[in-house]
Structure 1
């Protein structure tokens, strides 16, 4: 380990077998990326971490990781010596993973000035900004931690009844239970519940000869994926009706609602009086009542006393209705901004309650809405940026402490399908989950917990599902550092499978070997190969086992985090494949 200003140990050029990855950041994501890179079992791989302060919360654990060098500095605008000491010149790739978007962009520009050809992986929350900086950072891959992790939380919250979809080369694939798909649509098995893996839980990526309970399948057949196509429409329609009720109820105060009902009742009574006492048909009775209530009554002294009384009565009711309608319109306009936030008294069922509208929470809320799943958010701070995002997504927000039963009841947790607690505080998330379970014992609970040991114990003790945002996102960042593209993260219990695209490089010894040499039971399955380049590339799925791999072939793999690292290493470097 060295400090800023020291020469980097073992600095090497690009033409050698060794790799050097530089990570700028001192947060939990940095630690997870370090662990993910170390799992990839690369030989001669050097990992350098640039931290602003050695007293940071996770720096000691980062320093304790074997083969990791820590450099302190990089805080001042002109401290390029820190990046030189870290070895960004000639590095395989550099990751900028600070929590602040501006800091990461600034550091990326500084690194690019030092080495314009170095591969950059930049963490940005604002993905719209990320799509626009390619012109100034041509070698950068922009990733959002919250956008990467949100689908995993959503998949666990809504369960297997709403399947996870993956789009690839114009095709749609679905992650589902084995009994839900046809044999012809099956791509590969993902997990077998009847078998126990090395880390406990279901065995991942079993052989074709082993029965898989959880699979990846093609979703071309509309008849077999009816729940994907019809259920979201049904849920959107139900949500639209519910939304209308919410808006109406949110626009009326209790007194105004009572006055409205009273006047409507009087109007109906007048109509029925015209039809019975006056002897008019029902159509004529409604016609007269409407005209009279609108002030268009014509005096008729020749009419019977009963009809004249009814006509006068309905006219007076109509006079009262006009200011009432005006009051409703004015109040609706005044409360339009707050209806979305406070319309929480409407009954809801089978929805998801999301606690916390930080970066991850707002991504989860918008993803659920896009899938047609009803959602209610709970947030303590009205000034949180995610409140605006929820309003734009037309999601009602309950303001208050999610650890209090009253607040969760206002969010309808007693009738919810799931509660997702993703605040930045583990204790708040855990307490909110326990409170929700006290209200409804059957509610599905998905928690954001940073502490691995706590997460494992919580899962075992209360049958909940725990997720760490950095745990889900780190393999994607690690793959990007090795020039791989992760297409989807697939949660299986507490473990994560990755569907990724990996290119066969010029320096790889797998060139000329069959696809089967890369398959590893329990770790790696090669489910497809893109032959050719650009728009003319053809996806071969499943790949022919004896077809030789060529430089430029792009492999579609489903793998564990360690398995993906192995594939990336073998396809990128001159590492012999022992088969």
Structure 2
């Protein structure tokens, strides 16, 4: 199929230059990238998809998209296939096969055909990606798992946990408005009091005007300790509460149910003995505590001259104490031995408030390593003992359980009954859903984050189970689409089932935005320009917030927070090849 708006001369009916994007791949990511490019409403945009065979699972849906032409290249993908797809003179070419070697091979072929074409290459091996730029100077290397993992991690931890992001060499935090100083807030991201078109919180609300509703989820500058010294004299209940929460998590993490019960019994015995000695025995509080401690430890000294009440109390506390202390000792020893044998060598199995990650493939491995880097306790569950991710997780000290996560016994080994969240990211939707159902049967309150490819299923599961469902390609596709249009996505922020993108976009020489104020780009609910870099190189100056009336110039770099569709609009308006979309 060819776009109805395109002509053989490469011009649209409106006279603007046609953009041509070539995507090599026939997987779900390809379909999502096509949808993301179409969502950007570019006039005269031609999308060509190179597939191995037209019988692929997603090819029919790809070909049905408006403005998309499918080229079948077989398994060889020779130069004739790429020439037929129009890689020579293309705006950009994306290589998104699942195999790293295949994408590198295709990228080298495309570079031989047109050395100046912009390449977007999907690679899992990020170390290889850092080195591949030496032989592919026009390439942007992206990892799907690395792009999607932060979104799963943020949902597993919970929205109350700060997310740090790096924008243009500066560190920012995504957090609740009450968790940061008002002066540090850059912009509001979402308001719970408003409901968006798709349900859930309203994204990028309008915080100015008569009907303003300030966001309670914001982007703020990360402040150093010295910048917060003026706040130390003020009461900080939030800081004290966070400290107490961390202490509680540490304490709960060292206690099993049996150890907690045995310890509680010993404490109750001590308190009851103290009260009895003080009231029935007539001792002072200090003497009553002294006698209760010694008797609980079995160190009572017989005193036949004491009253009957004192002798009965002393005998009872001593006998019960002698029975409880060995029980506490046995439970402690059992816990220590279990911690050494259940998890990986050198790594204790967390007791409570950890995250259970089911599936240690590319995405699962990224999630467990990211959680480890953030200091969140994590347990990995993998069915296949030969999975490379299992060995990689063991090397970084992640406790592991090998087994089928759809079985209750396996999830109990991972202590899902005490976990804060379960993240199921295997390659099979049915396995992920079943693991979530089993986890909920063990602990009804566990937070569930699922990898589900089917959008309709994901929406229904989210509503019926109060679970959070994510598709890896759903999160990664906007990043690849932005790179095809020469934009750089710096971070993704999940808000409910939707995501916000933080990106850097350059105003090109032929952009119709030149001479217009920054405020023209702002659209409540879709786009917020939070900063503008004036100049280039080390002399560039960041205006944050940007002056609303100052005109944009060629080379200005915009720091933008936007929805997926909103980012497409910004890229289109700032690009050299596009007109402003109507």
**What interval of TM-score do these two structures reach, taking the shorter chain for normalisation?**
0.7 to 0.9
User: What's the counterpart of residue 536 of structure 1?
Assistant: 539
TM-superposed CA distance for 1:168, in Å, is 2.1
Give structure 2 stretches of 5+ with no counterpart.
257-336
Matches for 1:159-558 after TM superposition, within 5 Å: 159-208=158-207, 209-222=212-225, 223=228, 340-341=343-344, 346=349, 348-558=351-561
User: What's the counterpart of residue 262 of structure 1?
Assistant: none
| Residues 19 and 577 in structure 2, CA contact (< 8 A), matched pair in contact too | no
1:132 aligns with 2:131: yes
| Residues 507 and 574 in structure 1, CA contact (< 8 A), matched pair in contact too | yes
User: What's the counterpart of residue 292 of structure 1?
Assistant: none
Are the structure 2 counterparts of residues 47 and 575 from structure 1 closer, same or farther at C-alpha, using a change threshold of 3 Å?
A: closer
Separation in structure 2 between the aligned mates of residue 370 and residue 444 of structure 1, nearest angstrom: 21
Separation in structure 2 between the aligned mates of residue 36 and residue 394 of structure 1, nearest angstrom: 38
Please give the secondary structure, in 1, of the residue aligned with 2:124. Answer: coil
Separation in structure 2 between the aligned mates of residue 125 and residue 231 of structure 1, nearest angstrom: 38
Are the structure 2 counterparts of residues 345 and 48 from structure 1 closer, same or farther at C-alpha, using a change threshold of 3 Å?
A: same
Tell which deviates more after alignment, 532-541 or 497-506: 532-541
Tell which deviates more after alignment, 341-350 or 177-186: 341-350
User: What's the counterpart of residue 58 of structure 1?
Assistant: 58
User: What's the counterpart of residue 8 of structure 2?
Assistant: 10
| Residues 344 and 411 in structure 1, CA contact (< 8 A), matched pair in contact too | no
Please give the secondary structure, in 1, of the residue aligned with 2:542. Answer: strand
Separation in structure 2 between the aligned mates of residue 558 and residue 205 of structure 1, nearest angstrom: 8
Please give the secondary structure, in 1, of the residue aligned with 2:516. Answer: coil
TM-superposed CA distance for 1:213, in Å, is 2.0
Are the structure 2 counterparts of residues 92 and 170 from structure 1 closer, same or farther at C-alpha, using a change threshold of 3 Å?
A: closer
Are the structure 2 counterparts of residues 102 and 346 from structure 1 closer, same or farther at C-alpha, using a change threshold of 3 Å?
A: closer
Are the structure 2 counterparts of residues 437 and 347 from structure 1 closer, same or farther at C-alpha, using a change threshold of 3 Å?
A: same
User: What's the counterpart of residue 266 of structure 2?
Assistant: none
Q: TM-score, normalised by structure 2?
A: 0.78
Separation in structure 2 between the aligned mates of residue 123 and residue 74 of structure 1, nearest angstrom: 20
TM-superposed CA distance for 1:344, in Å, is 9.2
| Residues 513 and 549 in structure 1, CA contact (< 8 A), matched pair in contact too | yes
Separation in structure 2 between the aligned mates of residue 231 and residue 95 of structure 1, nearest angstrom: 47
Deviation string, structure 1 residues 424-461 (Cα, Å, up to 9, x no partner): 00000000001001111111000000000000001100
TM-superposed CA distance for 1:12, in Å, is 3.4
Separation in structure 2 between the aligned mates of residue 345 and residue 27 of structure 1, nearest angstrom: 39
Please give the secondary structure, in 2, of the residue aligned with 1:176. Answer: strand
TM-superposed CA distance for 1:221, in Å, is 4.9
| Residues 205 and 521 in structure 1, CA contact (< 8 A), matched pair in contact too | yes
Deviation string, structure 1 residues 243-299 (Cα, Å, up to 9, x no partner): xx9xxxxxxxxxxxxxxxxxxxxxxxxxxxxxxxxxxxxxxxxxxxxxxxxxxxxxx
Q: TM-score, normalised by structure 1?
A: 0.78
Give structure 1 stretches of 5+ with no counterpart.
3-7, 246-331
1:83 aligns with 2:82: yes
Deviation string, structure 1 residues 478-497 (Cα, Å, up to 9, x no partner): 00000000010111111111
Separation in structure 2 between the aligned mates of residue 432 and residue 339 of structure 1, nearest angstrom: 20
| Runs ≥4 residues deviating over 3 A | 8-16, 221-228, 230-235, 336-347, 573-579
User: What's the counterpart of residue 324 of structure 2?
Assistant: none
TM-superposed CA distance for 1:9, in Å, is 7.3
TM-superposed CA distance for 1:574, in Å, is 5.8
TM-superposed CA distance for 1:140, in Å, is 0.1
Separation in structure 1 between the aligned mates of residue 578 and residue 101 of structure 2, nearest angstrom: 38
Are the structure 2 counterparts of residues 145 and 454 from structure 1 closer, same or farther at C-alpha, using a change threshold of 3 Å?
A: same
Matches for 1:5-154 after TM superposition, within 5 Å: 10=8, 12=10, 17-73=17-73, 75-76=75-76, 79-154=78-153
Separation in structure 2 between the aligned mates of residue 549 and residue 346 of structure 1, nearest angstrom: 55
Tell which deviates more after alignment, 444-453 or 154-163: 154-163
RMSD: 3.2
